[in-house]
């Protein structure tokens, strides 16, 4: 056996439970995949059309455009940032990894309010950095920025804020973020806006004023092209140039670029879907609360519901082709299941299955 590198020795393989085997076994087309906060309908038909057009063309043998020039131009229009302030990435996971690789030395720290999205752990471990966590408040899932400030020390290089937060659905105010940007200019604040389109609140405009802000976004959520793996960073142009020191510029595939451009060309489709989700959420929350579930539903295309035996809840729904996720292992979330919200019709199906299975207590 060839010895692995020293920095990998203490690391465990990242495990994620995949439902694809179960889905194949069910052999049904009637799957409601509500476990990863993807859209519950296909992306705009314009995306499919553009992809088919590309596949039928003659450029599959070419490397992707390393500059992603067309996508970057479209993103400039969408975000209001200049093209030099934008960096497309292979999903926002790569975006987060790139930030960590660019800023974290051995022993440096990132402050992460939890529970939250956990994917930058691997990059932190590889760089030998330390994750310092503070908890959101137990009663209302709000975040006390003073708690974050209390953790900032000499080794703090990064603060990671997910806004709206996954899985809590909470939204930090602009003032809370500004307090960190203004108070700690030597610390880079990452604002992960993966669910921006479902919350409508952004700080992307602040990158013009604060060099210590980087915003990460994705096409995997509201735009419905998670399979294509496209995300992007928006930050001061000097930061973007630094990110390009560590990022492999060939990672955003041609198909990903084509799909993302087509998705941006049909913003109305995305907006219509966001409205459907809002309606679905309204229906779902009322129906579940009527059944006496404790439901936490704020921003984002997902909700949290508490159940006495979350594993049972998840497996019962899975038998009917509905996949949701037990979040019980996360801080503050013992007994909670996270469920992506789809269209009103799909939400009705979920409620019916909960009733039919006798899961409504």
Ligand X SMILES: Cc1ncc(COP(=O)(O)O)c(C=O)c1O
Residues of this chain that bind ligand X (CB under 6 A): 36-37, 91-93, 117, 162, 166, 192, 194, 218, 220, 226, 231
Sign for the CA dihedral angle at 134, 140, 141, 146 comes to: negative
Q: In the bound complex, what is the minimum distance in angstroms from residue 249's beta carbon to ligand X?
A: 18
Minimum distance of ligand X from residue 226's CB (angstroms): 5
CB of 96 to ligand X, least distance (A): 7
CB 189 within 8 A of CB 183: no
Which lies closer to ligand X via its Cβ, residue 162 or residue 333?
Answer: 162
Structure tokens at 274: 């966001």
200: Cα within 13 Å, side-chain hemisphere: 5
Residue of this chain nearest to ligand X (CB atom): 91
- Least distance from C-beta 149 to ligand X, angstroms? 22
Residue whose CB is less far from ligand X, 120 or 317: 120
Q: Which C-beta is closer to ligand X: that of 224 or that of 321?
A: 224
Tell me how far apart the alpha carbons of residues 344 and 264 are, in angstroms, rounded to a whole number: 25
| Residue number, 320 or 325, with CB nearest to ligand X | 325
Distance in Å, CB of 89 to ligand X, minimum: 8
User: What is the rounded CA–CA span in Å between residue 171 and residue 148?
Assistant: 15
> Cβ of residue 159: shortest distance to ligand X, in angstroms?
15
Which CB, 212 or 218, lies closer to ligand X?
Answer: 218
Question: 229: phi > 0 → left, psi -120 to 50 → alpha, else beta; which?
Answer: left
Alpha helices in 128-201 (DSSP H): 145-151, 174-183, 196-199
Nearest to 280 by CA among 221, 222, 342: 342
> Where does residue 126 rank: exposed (0-12), middle (13-18), buried (19+ CB within 10 A)?
middle
Q: Which helix (H) or strand (E) holds 254?
A: helix 254-264
Q: Which is nearer to ligand X, 157 or 217 (by Cβ)? A: 217
Nearest-angstrom CA–CA distance, 72 and 88: 7
With respect to ligand X, which residue has the nearer C-beta, 32 or 228?
Answer: 228
Tell me the closest approach of the beta carbon of residue 354 to ligand X, in angstroms. Answer: 24
């Amino acid at each position: 056996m060839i010895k692995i590198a020293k920095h990998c020795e203490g690391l465990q393989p990242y495990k994620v439970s995949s439902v694809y085997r179960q889905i194949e076994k069910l052999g049904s087309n009637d799957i409601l995949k509500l476990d990863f906060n993807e859209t519950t309908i296909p992306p705009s038909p314009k995306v499919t059309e553009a992809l088919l057009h590309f596949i039928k063309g003659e450029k599959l043998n070419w490397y992707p455009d390393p500059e992603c020039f067309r996508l970057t131009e479209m993103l400039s229009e969408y975000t209001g940032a200049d093209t030099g302030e934008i960096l497309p990435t292979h999903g926002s996971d790569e975006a987060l990894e790139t930030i960590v690789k660019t800023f974290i030395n051995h022993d440096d720290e990132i402050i992460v309010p939890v529970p939250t999205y956990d994917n930058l752990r691997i990059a932190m471990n590889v760089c030998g950095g330390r994750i310092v966590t503070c908890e959101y408040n137990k009663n209302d899932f709000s975040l006390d920025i003073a708690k974050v400030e209390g953790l900032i020390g000499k080794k703090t290089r990064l603060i990671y804020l997910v806004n709206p937060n996954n899985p809590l659905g909470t939204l930090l105010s602009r003032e809370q973020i500004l307090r960190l940007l203004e108070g700690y200019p030597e610390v880079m604040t990452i604002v992960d806006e993966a669910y921006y389109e479902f919350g409508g609140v952004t700080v992307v405009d602040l990158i013009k004023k604060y060099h210590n802000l980087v915003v990460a976004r994705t096409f995997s959520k509201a735009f419905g092209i998670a399979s294509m793996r496209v995300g992007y960073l928006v930050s001061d142009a000097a930061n973007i140039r630094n990110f390009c020191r560590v990022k492999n510029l060939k990672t955003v595939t041609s198909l990903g670029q084509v799909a993302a451009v087509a998705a941006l060309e049909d913003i109305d489709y995305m907006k219509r879907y966001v409205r459907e989700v809002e309606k679905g959420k309204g229906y779902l929350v009322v129906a579940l609360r009527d059944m006496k579930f404790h439901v936490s539903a704020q921003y984002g295309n997902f909700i949290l519901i508490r159940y006495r035996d979350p594993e049972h809840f998840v497996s019962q729904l899975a038998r009917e082709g509905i996949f949701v996720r037990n979040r019980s292992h996360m801080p503050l979330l013992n007994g909670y299941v996270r469920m992506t919200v789809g269209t009103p019709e799909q939400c009705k199906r979920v409620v019916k299955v909960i009733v039919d299975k006798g899961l409504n207590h």
